[in-house]
Amino acid sequence: MNIGNVKIEFPVFLAPMAGYTDHAFRILCKEQGAGVVYTEFVSSEGIIRGSEKTQNYLTFDDIERPIGIQIFGHNPKSMAEAAKYIEENYKPDIIDLNFGCPVKKVTKKGAGSSLLRNLPLMAEIARNVIKSVNTPVTAKIRSGWNNSEILATKAAKILEAEGVAALTIHPRTASSRYNQPANWNIIADVKSKVKIPVIGNGDIKTPEDAGKMFKETGCDAVMIGRGALGNPLIFRNTIDYLKGGKLIPTISPISKINFCLHHISLESKMREDVTVNKLMKKYYRWYFRELPNASEIRTKLVKSTNLNETIKILESFKTYLFN
């Protein structure tokens, strides 16, 4: 499939996830075949102000291509200015507009999914950004603000008319967050009403889920978020499943530990050990859930005071599983 002039080999994408899809995790998923990866969402106002923390979110290596940088904000002028800055200084393959984040600190500023309550402003933001750059501009939306306002198809038509190159649909409302099953029928409806590529997102935890979404919705690509946490192999397994239709075994406990160790090694190339040791603690519940003695190993890892100790704990756990 193509998004604008960007050719995409595998229609299985890594979703942008705040706090998780940093440089190292994107590389980890890219190594396993993710067709497109995305940065954590970045504030347009932070980009314009030159915030050092914001700038760190924008950095990537060519190995990560094709890559999308996702931005959020509520001011059309600021969003356009931020997009232009990103294009000139970072040259991503895609610039993605976040119209779907349901987190209160984002929506209370009139950004993210709150723009589903103001479609004219959403359209104006998309229009201004698209006019300011040559990079393909995509957008990610939810199904609506709440269950009484399901307007993904209406929003999709508006964004298509403004020139958005592709749309990602997360078929939950902003108010439901992740507390209800994703309604894939909404993805199918959007796909039937627009001509641009539609990327389906929500409740893809296995390769079989991805195959089912393609079949039920007709979407052009699938986007995996939480299903990739602790299981970056899901991209490789999904691609293999889509190619051959064979059921893929779940990731083994040993593979999970090896991926965790590799993840640590990638983070260590970019950050100081003390930072890596602290940062990795949020990933352990994903890597080790449902494993033997998972609670005990997570407790040890969270209490670990240095990276060498952490690695020793992981290696000893691997030895325990072998025996």
- DSSP helix/strand/coil, 279: helix
* Active-site position among 29, 101, 219, 260: 101
Predicted confidence (pLDDT) at residue 8 exceeds the cutoff of 70: yes
What pTM did the predictor assign? 0.94
Residues for the chain: how many in total? 323
| E strand intervals along 105-224 | 137-144, 166-173, 198-201, 221-224
Name the pLDDT band for 264 (thresholds 50, 70, 90). Answer: very high
Per-residue confidence (pLDDT) for residue 247, from 0 to 100:
76
CA dist., res. 137 & res. 264, Å (int): 33
Per-residue confidence band for 323, with pLDDT thresholds at 50, 70 and 90: low
pLDDT at 196: 98
Which of 40-44, 174-178, 188-192 is the least confident region? Answer: 174-178
Write the Ramachandran bin of 118: left for phi over 0, alpha for psi from -120 to 50, otherwise beta. Answer: beta
- pLDDT band, very low/low/confident/very high, at 18 (cuts 50, 70, 90): very high
Phi, psi of 310, rounded to the nearest 5 degrees: -60, -45
Distance CA 121, CA 59 (A): 29
Three-state DSSP class for 267?
A: helix
Confidence category of residue 134, pLDDT binned at 50, 70, 90: very high
Residue 180 confidence class, pLDDT cut points 50, 70, 90: confident
Q: Is residue 181 scored above 80 in pLDDT? A: yes
Amino acid at 5: N
Comparing 82-86, 177-181, 263-267, the range with the smallest average pLDDT is: 177-181
CA distances from 210 to 37, 73, 162 (A): 17, 30, 29
Residue range 64-106, pLDDT digits in tens? 999 999 999 999 999 999 999 999 999 999 999 999 999 999 9
Q: How far apart are CA 26 and CA 12, in angstroms?
A: 13
Spatial distance between the Cα atoms of 47 and 208, rounded to a whole number of angstroms? 39
Inter-residue contact 94 to 67 (CB < 8 Å): yes
Residue 271 has pLDDT above 80, yes or no: yes
DSSP state of 290: T
**201, 210 contact by CB (below 8 A):** no
Residue 96 β-bridge partners: 70, 138
Distance CA 275, CA 207 (A): 33
Out of 216-225, 289-298, 309-318, least confident range: 289-298
User: Among the listed ranges 86-100, 133-147, 237-251, which one has the minimum average pLDDT value?
Assistant: 237-251
- C-alpha closest to that of 184 among 157, 208, 160, 219: 219
DSSP state of 252: P
Q: Kindly indicate the confidence band of residue 156, based on its pLDDT and cuts at 50, 70 and 90.
A: very high
- Mean pLDDT for the stretch of residues 185-212: 97
Report how far residue 239's alpha carbon sits from residue 159's, in angstroms, rounded to the nearest whole number. Answer: 29
Are 223 and 217 within 8 A, CB to CB?
no
Q: How far is CA 5 from CA 68, 88, 131, 137, 151, in A?
A: 13, 17, 16, 11, 29
Active site residue 101: yes
Residue 259's CB is within 10 A of a number of other CB atoms, namely: 20
**Average pLDDT estimate for 178-186:** 90
- Number of neighbours of residue 124 by Cβ within 10 angstroms: 18
Q: What gap in Å lies between CA 71 and CA 74, rounded to an integer?
A: 10
Rounded CA-CA distance 117/104 in Å is 14
